[in-house]
């Protein structure tokens, strides 16, 4: 990664409307309008692609969290059977490790998503300022990101509950 400001880098590399006309070969307003609309739609497609990437990370993290909690519960009940041969804290330790791995993975996915979306929004703002993209549609907060945050909280609750044997999952 470079030490330069990403917004400055984007503004330096952004085309002006005059330069875009020059590259397109004249003052063809229809071509510029169509190009601007396609570029605006490509921002929406890129945003949705970033949401799909976060959803796949969430799916994997949810599997790890769920499997870790299931291991904790199942083998915790196996400890009650005489002669099971399990060490007393083995189910809890392995379950907490899986849930923690899911939470760490989700944390990294959320951080990546937020950084990527900030960069995309910055680039979009610069292109709107240059007149290359219409700024008619707003850029909503990602519901996928909100859901990922809730899943992250659920993972933390599971770790606390498994470690300290407190509600809601005790």
* Domain-embedded: residue 60: yes
In a domain, 36, yes or no: yes
Q: What is the pLDDT of residue 28?
A: 66
| CA atoms of 117 and 111, how far apart (whole Å) | 10
Q: CB-hemisphere CA count at 13 Å for 42? A: 11
Residue 133 forms part of a structural domain: yes
| C-alpha span between 36 and 131 (Å, rounded) | 8
Q: Point out the residues of the chain with pLDDT beneath 50.
A: 1
State yes or no: cis peptide before 27, omega within 30 of 0.
no
Q: Would you say residue 137 lies in a domain?
A: yes
Q: Looking at the domain assignment, is residue 7 inside a domain? A: no
**Residue 2: inside a domain:** no
Predicted local confidence at residue 112, as pLDDT: 97
Q: Is residue 31, in this structure, part of any structural domain at all?
A: yes
pLDDT at 19: 65
Domain range spanning residue 94? 17-164
Give tens-digit pLDDT for 39-53.
778 888 899 999 999
Q: What's the predicted TM-score (pTM) here?
A: 0.77
Total domains in the fold of the chain: 1
In this prediction, residue 140 carries a pLDDT of 81
Residues 6+ apart with CB under 8 A from 113: 50, 53, 54, 142, 144, 145, 148
SS3 136: coil
**Phi then psi for 3, rounded to 5 degrees?**
-90, 0
In-domain check, residue 4: no
Q: Retrieve residue 132's tokens.
A: 């290359």
CA atoms within 13 A on the CB side of 21: 10
- H helices of the chain, in order, are 6-13, 17-24, 29-78, 90-129, 143-164
pLDDT tens-digit map of 118-136: 999 999 888 888 877 877 7
């Amino acid at each position: 990664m470079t030490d330069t400001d990403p917004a400055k880098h984007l503004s330096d590399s952004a085309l002006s409307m005059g330069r875009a006309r020059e590259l397109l070969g004249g003052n063809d307003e229809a071509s510029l309008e169509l190009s601007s609309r396609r570029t605006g739609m490509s921002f929406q497609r890129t945003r949705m692609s970033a949401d799909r990437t976060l959803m796949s990370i969430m799916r994997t993290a949810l599997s790890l969290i769920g499997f870790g909690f299931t291991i904790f519960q199942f083998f915790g009940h196996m400890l009650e059977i005489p002669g099971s041969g399990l060490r007393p804290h083995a189910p809890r330790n392995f379950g907490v490790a899986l849930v923690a791995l899911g939470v760490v993975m989700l944390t990294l996915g959320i951080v990546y998503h937020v950084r990527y979306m900030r960069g995309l929004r910055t680039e979009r703002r610069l292109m709107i300022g240059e007149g290359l993209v219409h700024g008619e549609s707003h850029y909503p907060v990602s519901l996928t990101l909100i859901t990922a945050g809730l899943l992250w909280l659920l993972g933390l609750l599971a770790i606390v509950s498994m470690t300290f044997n407190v509600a809601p999952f005790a």
